[in-house]
Amino acid sequence: MANGRGMDWGSWGGDVLSAEAKAARQAPAPERVEAVRDLVVERHDGWVGAVLGIEAGHVRLEDRRGRARLFPLGRGFLVDGVEVELVVPAARAAAATRTASGSRAVADHRARVALPSRILVEGTHDAELVEQVWGHDLRVEGVVVEPLHGVDDLAGVVAEFAPTAERRLGVLVDHLVPGSKESRIAEAVQRGPHGAHVRVVGHPYIDIWQAVKPSRLGIAGWPDVPRGEDWKQGTLRRLGMPHGDQESVARAWQRIRSRVRDWNDLEPALLARVEELIDFVTTSRH
């Protein structure tokens, strides 16, 4: 391996015309290697990790302890001890005409001024996942997504927002199944005075985590957590992961989200509902 850091050509010392310097300048360029998922690479600073994905000109690597870091694509990597230049995989470059949600990408598009309409989701994790997969679509349409932090006071939130035909409100609710507390709250809102301009939809999962296909995490299915036990911490405990505090939960969520490449990694029950809300709040524009 190298001496612990990348070569700084700009600060090369001594005689630049020496035989050593000349040989270094004439060294062949390293092999270009596609940063495909699960490829194990080593940085000159000693970081070793498997490729999780490509993000805005950077590669995300995960080490054996589950820690993830972003590094600029290009030189400075080793594969099997050999210097390489990491590049965007050809398949990903060809797919760039599609967004993570599967829609056609709009090139060189500036985000529109935000619509007066809004989409509300239950929590921060919901908002992050929606942004990750539908972010391009939302910016093209000018749709803002905001976390509710629970639906217990949804009726009050709707009344304060005061939706109209030109100012619609879409709401995505977790665990929207017959007989649940969430279903009763949603039904009351839809029957309320603003019901015509509000669309409350939901998925059947206890938490948005479950909308990520378990196969993406290398598990057969999401574990069952008894009612009354914190679902996130109970899930992590059954998966053998740190779970005792909110920091552990936050780290676990980042690992889960890092496994989501695009809409194919999410359950159809979530996909359909988000698409429905985007259509609903943008109807008055089209």
Please give the average per-residue pLDDT across 241-247, as a whole number: 91
Domain's final residue, options 94, 128, 159 = 94
Choose the final residue of a domain: 71, 94, 117: 94
Q: Determine contact, residues 254/236, Cβ cutoff 8 Å.
A: no
Predicted pLDDT of residue 261: 86
Model pLDDT, residue 284: 61
Give residue-wise pLDDT tens across range 189-229.
Answer: 999 999 999 999 999 999 999 999 999 999 999 999 999 99
Do 22 and 52 fall within a single domain?
yes
Span 260-286, average pLDDT: 87
Mean predicted lDDT score pLDDT of the chain: 84
pLDDT over 60 at 41, yes or no: yes
The answer to whether the predicted template modeling score (pTM) of the entire model surpasses 0.75 is: no
Torsion of CA 70, 1, 83, 14, to 10 degrees: 100
Q: Which of these, 71, 83, 85, 70, lies nearest to 1 by C-alpha position?
A: 83
Residue 219 covered by a domain: no
pLDDT of residue 73: 87
On whether residue 244 sits in a domain, the answer given is no
Q: Which residue has the tokens 């015509």?
A: 196
Specify the number of domains making up the chain. Answer: 2
pLDDT for 99 = 72
Q: Provide the pLDDT for residue 162.
A: 95
Q: Of 64, 94, 124, which closes a domain? A: 94
pLDDT number for residue 11: 33
Same domain as 278, residue 159: yes
Contact between 212 and 259 under an 8 Å Cβ cutoff? The reply is: yes
Please say whether the beta carbons of 257 and 129 come within 8 A.
yes
Give the H or E element holding residue 201.
Answer: strand 198-202
- Predicted confidence band of residue 26 (pLDDT cuts 50, 70, 90): low
The residue behind tokens 């850091």 is 5
| pLDDT at 91 (0 to 100) | 67
Distance separating alpha carbons of residues 121 and 202, to the nearest angstrom: 9
More confident position, 4 or 253:
253
Is 179 inside any structural domain? yes
Domain range enclosing 39: 9-94
Cα distance between residue 277 and residue 176, in whole Å: 15
Q: Give tens-digit pLDDT for 72-125.
A: 888 889 998 899 999 988 766 555 566 777 666 665 555 556 789 999 999 999
Alpha-carbon gap, residue 49 to 71, rounded angstroms? 11
